[in-house]
Amino acid sequence: MDRKMMIEARWPNMRFDQLLDRSAWAKAGEGSRYGKMIDPALAKTGIDWTGARATLNVAAQFLTSSRIVDQHNVGSNTFTYAKNLDWVTDRVIRMPHWEDDYYYLSAKLEAVDVPTEWFLDEPNGQLYLWADDGKNPAVRKVVYKKRDYALDISGCHYIEVRGLHFFATAFRFDDCNHCVIEDCRLVFPSYSRKPIEGIQTPSDFEKEQRCASFVGEDNTVRRTVIAYASGSGLYIKGKSNMVENCIIHDVSWYGTLRECALLVVGQGPGPGGSVVRQSTFYNAGNAILVYLNGSHTIEYNHIYSGGLLCKDVALLGTWNPSTAGSVVRYNWVHGCQTEGHIGRTGSGGFGIRGDLYTRGLTVHHNVVWDCGWRGIMPRGDHNRIFNNTIFDIGQWNEAAQKRERGWDLCIQTRAEKETPWPKQFSPLKAQNANSLFYNNAVGKIVWFFGDKPLPVDKVANNLEFGEQLPESWLTDAKKMDFRPRKNSPLIDAGRVIPGFTDNYNGKAPDIGAYEYGSKQWKPGSDLIDE
């Protein structure tokens, strides 16, 4: 209405500025189980929610589903829903945590009880809207989203689109090569009343994406802003594509891993990976940047404020051997303070993660900070983790004035466990046996469930801040100047790594993401998002 987004009526109520605020969701109560939600606050609504839509961030809380309320009575604190969440049902025994879940209810006319809310009576073709000023909305300019794509192009090549403003619509290029989107702006490009569900196999992750998208080869999205999408912001699939100098923000309103700010999917390891560079991505309900199935390059990006509606999430992540050869370098990654990781209290959240069955991932010259649980964590093997700066990881203890329970660099060494969906890969008996960890400046290095740390030829020339504040080693961390300060122990304390530490100053390379005396590289887009 008047170019301001109205909210589908729901309980609990939510303002537009709470799209990514988990406190606007209802919380499960004691006794909740799979298929049954118990919440004392529900009984006070005075509404029979039978037939409503329940949006459920439950169990592991990194995926969100939508189910119809099967049974509820006015005054009851309990409702039931079908126990057919495909990603939960086959492993429900291993997911005992149901009393810390989140949900909300919608698709009921009775839920319209505050200004800016609407309800669609689909069978009768009737839209109910409570205007923000409480007056008759008929005298206001009310528009609705009629189409998903203003540009829907298939099988065409060498098309260039410049300077367009997309409002409540997006673009889709399918089987297109050598195409360009440049200097465009997309506001409210995509919207769905429920999240994409399920993730049984790696290929499921890319299905049903309802957002701005490119599928093909040698395509480019450049100097483009994408803002306020209920699902993913941008989906790129194919060989040798590029996202450059873009901004994507305020996406993934359902907090599910199936929807992120940017999803990049290739066609397998080897030449032809895509490049994401010099861009800024922020404010997402789940992961911000996910890259899969290709040897991709993620460089000079500023990535922050993700995992706002979920648990067990990394701001920048991948998994599976199919991403072998990918390089993550020269990025700033920060601000992932989720609630406690799967069944744990406190805080959670990862910065950069190579998750299940990762192979051959290179992560170098990144700065990672302000994450609730892990800074950088590579699983798998044949990974190279060089010259990263990681600090302020863990939950802040106000009384003690320090971070607690955080692991800056978490090195997985235990055997890989078999999981339900990557069954096509043989699990390792020990992880990271052939990985290398050099020249990292970190708060703490932790070995995860291994009998012994890796030998010193695998983990060397790293320095741990320990109880010291990073300000004692860095020029001005609060102002994002992460270069070593004068007389810092990071200076000349690293080892030479051909191809990674070339052109160093002094007697030896410095430890961490920056070299003392060198010009400071800065990541992110130079666009102004108006």
pLDDT at 406 (0 to 100): 83
Domain boundaries, the chain: 7-130, 150-197+210-307, 311-529
Query: How many whole angstroms separate alpha carbon 61 and alpha carbon 375?
Result: 20
What does CATH list as the number for 7-130? Answer: 2.40.30
pLDDT tens, residue by residue, 95-132: 667 899 999 999 999 999 999 999 999 999 999 999 99
Report the greatest alpha carbon distance in the chain: 77
How many whole angstroms separate alpha carbon 9 and alpha carbon 24?
13
Residue 396's pLDDT is 74
pLDDT class of 37 with cuts at 50, 70, 90: very high
Give the pLDDT score at 482: 97
Buried b (16+ CB within 10 A) or exposed e, 53-81: bbbbbbbbbbbbbbbebeebeeeebbbbb
In this model, does residue 274 exceed pLDDT 80? yes
Q: Among residues 368, 366, 373, 328, which one has the least CA distance to residue 350?
A: 373
Report the C-alpha gap between 335 and 410 in whole angstroms: 18
C-alpha 440/C-alpha 102 separation (Å) is 37
For the stretch 463-493, pLDDT in tens is: 998 878 787 899 999 999 999 999 999 999 9
pLDDT digits (tens, 9 = 90+) for 202-245: 556 566 778 999 999 999 999 999 999 999 999 999 999 999 99
Which pLDDT score is estimated for 378? 97
Which residues are 158's β-sheet partners? Answer: none
Cα–Cα distance between 480 and 385 in angstroms, integer?
22
Over residues 328-349, the mean pLDDT reads 84
Q: What is the predicted pLDDT for the residue at 75?
A: 97
Beta pairing class for 402-404 and 332-336: unpaired
**Strands 185-187 and 165-167: what pairing?**
parallel
**How many secondary structure helices (H) and strands (E) does the chain include?**
1, 49
What's the chain's average pLDDT?
Answer: 92
